[in-house]
Amino acid sequence: MPSTAPRPDAPYFIVMNAGSGHSETELRRSTIEQVFDGAGRRCHLELVEDPAGLEEQARALAARAVAEEGILVAAGGDGTINTVAHQAVLAGCPFGVLPQGTFNYFGRTHGIPEDLAEAVYALLRAQVQPVQVGLLNNKVFLVNASVGLYPKLLEARELDKRHYGRSRLVAFFSAVKIALRPHRHLRITLELDGKERRLRTTTLFVGNNRLQLEQVGMRDGLVEAVEDGQLVGIAPRPMGKLGLLRLLIQGLRGRLGEDDEVEAFAFRRLTVLTPAVYGRKRMKVAVDGEVSRMTMPLEFRVLEGRLHLLVQGPSRKEARPASDEARALS
């Protein structure tokens, strides 16, 4: 899809998650403001102390971005980015990302630096590129959405992060802990391409992120599907604790797609129902790392080109004039 340049004087409206510590939050805020000031660009930064108020503040800043022909920006992890992106899609305004999470799949997929100052600098030189998002019922997702065991894993991971800190190692041991606990299998019916099929699985995971699918080792064709207007469903067959632990290791080794106990398929629209005997009207779901409950049935589908994302501009080194480069080396 073609990219376009935003207005050179467009203001930026930034929603920033307060994060873990006051000093770290203030450092991030000052870094963002210093880069904008140094570039002579306007920005309005809203710090979100209470996660419950994130959606409301994102909606308010999205309205201002539309009214002033500006750009809405999310600074935080994948959950924060998701919430702000949802408002950008609804408002139809350009959207930028300053990734500050643990995995940063969305930012890394689109070449956005993880270093905050570099990410702000790149944002100021970025082009607007329409990208696809997934939709679970009425909720946008950028990276993945799931039902079954995976939402429980995320809840455990969030609890462990509060005790032991935010790191990929903590995330791994949380996954091991959940894999070794007793769990119930999920009995669901899938409506896909006009056909119904029953499925018994530990979890149904739906991916919308090329990098994440590559890392776990999805086979050829499925990784490319998300760049061809599709989503990818992954459903392990029912198994015990050791089987789940083996699958976790397979994913870490980038070989999940080779496992015969894993079913994977691409689609544009998928409806998930539960048997009537369950009497289940709501189900726990995870959307870009945030866990909630949604009313059944669940519908996964693609929205192509609906997020107007600011993608990577030149790095600070690439953008520096040759004379500046020579002075820096002297």
Render pLDDT for 156-171 as a digit per residue (tens, 0 to 9).
677 766 777 666 676 7
Instruction: Report, as an integer, the average pLDDT of 89-99.
Output: 96
Assign residue 19 a region (left: φ > 0; alpha: ψ between -120 and 50; beta: otherwise): left
- Quote the mean pLDDT of the chain: 86
pLDDT of residue 286: 94
Render pLDDT for 203-247 as a digit per residue (tens, 0 to 9).
999 999 999 999 999 987 899 999 899 999 999 998 887 777 777
pLDDT higher for 223 or 102?
A: 223
69 band by pLDDT with thresholds 50, 70 and 90: very high
56-295-209-128 Cα dihedral, nearest 10 degrees = -40
Q: Is the pLDDT of residue 86 over 90?
A: yes
Whole-number Å distance between alpha carbons of 186 and 48: 36
Cβ atoms of 201 and 235 closer than 8 Å: yes
Render pLDDT for 5-25 as a digit per residue (tens, 0 to 9).
888 899 999 999 886 567 788
238-239-240-243 Cα dihedral, nearest 10 degrees = -150
pTM of the model: 0.86
| Residues above pLDDT 90, as percent of the chain | 61
pLDDT of residue 318: 45
Written as six digits, the tokens of 202 are 């530990």
pLDDT of residue 252: 75
Whole-number Å distance between alpha carbons of 68 and 104: 29
pLDDT of residue 112: 94
Assign residue 288 a region (left: φ > 0; alpha: ψ between -120 and 50; beta: otherwise): left
